Structure 1
């Protein structure tokens, strides 16, 4: 019986409640759970050696059988997980364990490697930068490595970073067609790791823009952008960290499927993974620093505003005092304490002049102290 679950978001930044996508309690191990919205599989087979290259569209999984027993390298690329029957037939053709099929269709799997004797299951996560906005698409890639073949299973056909590898095979560039299936697996893993660099480059540019924005004109939207970048960088870290351990296992494990020559190339791939980790950690620290700078900038701006208001209030306090004194209107002829200024002909303009002199004096005093000039720089 086919069980259905909610569709796993393609964008890794949305994987906040990953436990919602695990199998239900009591599910039999090896059960294939198909998403009702999954794309129908598209199977492409590329069979090559140093002299020949064959690329065919596969409609029936059984058609792959004739290519798997040859000395040439057979790359079977499955794009889409929307047909349970085809996946089970592929499992029979490649003699896959039921748990391998389960891991392939479970898009919440953590990057890992499992040894099944004559086969290696490698689960990796690929990221592709968005074309018209910041952020990235994320997709799980499953690789089943055999002696003379490589089976790759992808969630979506539209996001892929393997075009460079396909071009090298087609045009016979480099040594890829002189090597075996293990070198092909290395090439795909290297393309996956290198796909992180364009994404991180975009985040580096965005962080530089936010640095200027935080200093010049911080807004609540700026804080939201910083939080978003921190959250997405955390998801990138969760994707690349276990991938580093996976490649390290390929280097150290004694599987006969991986040759010693390919292990040397995997070391370079491991170095790239470490470099990605360092960049992710650096950008996370920069994002955290931006948040501190934002809070300091907002606090400093508030202090400048309060300073300006205090200066303005200080100017009007003595004016209020003078106006208050002469606003009492105690003008009784019999009183010895009457205010003679109220009967002066020039009393009113003199009072206004006194208030103007006091204001000008305070403004000059504040200006000499440097308080007024800094306060009027607030935007």
Structure 2
């Protein structure tokens, strides 16, 4: 278990169930609230100064989306939860960023947790928890920090594009989840490019010294993506089978479309996961082949110099009665024999295609 996970779990040890304790590490984020209140004809967009400013939207006839950034502001989130009658366990899960994707159904609202994935400037995967509360005519979204994948949804609401302004809050929740799932494709594409580039690098033989570290990083990335995405299938299955009035039957079709996209993403994850395991095998095979080539060269060199060393050793002995030592041309004859042996072995190895 990593130090980060141990640290987060320690924050929850000994706490009473329902305790609202922020488990993230970023504690300096400012609280940011925005609200979109719209009907098919009108749209109001506001940046709210306080949580209390959002209370007026609860009982309107229009559809309202209230987005909250800054889970470290626990007191403000508790105020919002009290006004919207959110269960203490829901508030606990909102600020506990180690939650796995899930869905909980309550009498007046549905609570959904999922992960928003993106690459940062250092090309490392960032997994940010996003929580949604779907009510009769509103959607509350909770994010850990500023920056998300909902700009396209905001523009559709502002410009009355698509169906979002003509349908209810359940369709708004669909568009937000769909934006997150669509962004998974971008993450998977980048991850796939990394794997394919590294595969090409291994095949070309230009392997860097930190290749094994890169493979381990790819493994961690794919496991992190898999951990964030796979449980979402269960969430969408439960939405498809739900019996609540908060999600209309005609909207279920759209959620099924998200499920189809998610299946495509998970299939790609499985493929890339197998490719990463194959990369390690390829890397080890390549290293082994290089070692075999080195050993082959050393063996051939040893095979060439063994007979030469033998001859030099024999005539390097200090016996007095060695007939060849008295020969006038003995030195030249030994050199000739050694050269012939050397050339003959080279020719033999070439013919056998060992060189």
Please give the alpha-carbon distance, in whole angstroms, between the structure 1 residues aligned to 2:123 and 2:79.
Answer: 40
Does residue 237 of structure 1 match 2:220?
Answer: no
TM-score by length of 2: 0.94
Please give the alpha-carbon distance, in whole angstroms, between the structure 2 residues aligned to 1:20 and 1:166.
Answer: 33
The worse-fitting range, judged by mean Cα deviation, of 266-275 and 300-309 is 300-309
1:178 — aligned with what?
166
1:36-75 CA-to-partner distances (Å, cap 9, x unmatched) read 7152321101111111111111123222232222221110
Please give the alpha-carbon distance, in whole angstroms, between the structure 2 residues aligned to 1:231 and 1:65.
Answer: 42
Does residue 65 of structure 1 match 2:55?
Answer: yes
1:289-325 CA-to-partner distances (Å, cap 9, x unmatched) read 1111111111122122111111110100111111112
CA RMSD of aligned residues (A): 1.9
Moved over 3 A (4+): 13-20, 22-26, 217-220
Does residue 50 of structure 1 match 2:40?
Answer: yes
Match for 1:113 among 94, 99, 103?
103
Q: Give 1:283 deviation, angstroms.
A: 0.5
Match for 2:326 among 343, 346, 353?
343
3-state secondary structure, aligned to 1:195: helix
1:376 — aligned with what?
none
Aligned residues: 352
Does residue 356 of structure 1 match 2:344?
Answer: no
Please give the alpha-carbon distance, in whole angstroms, between the structure 2 residues aligned to 1:221 and 1:104.
Answer: 39
2:154 — aligned with what?
166
Gaps of 5+ in 2: none
Q: 1:152 to 1:15 in 2, by over 3 A?
A: farther
1:218 — aligned with what?
207
Please give the alpha-carbon distance, in whole angstroms, between the structure 2 residues aligned to 1:150 and 1:251.
Answer: 19
Q: 1:20 to 1:88 in 2, by over 3 A?
A: closer
Gaps of 5+ in 1: 1-12, 333-337, 373-379
8 Å contact 1:111–1:123 — kept in the other structure?
yes
8 Å contact 1:61–1:93 — kept in the other structure?
no
1:1-379 matches, within 5 Å, as 17=5, 20-21=8-9, 23-34=11-22, 37-131=27-121, 133-158=122-147, 160-215=148-203, 216-332=205-321, 338-339=322-323, 341-372=324-355
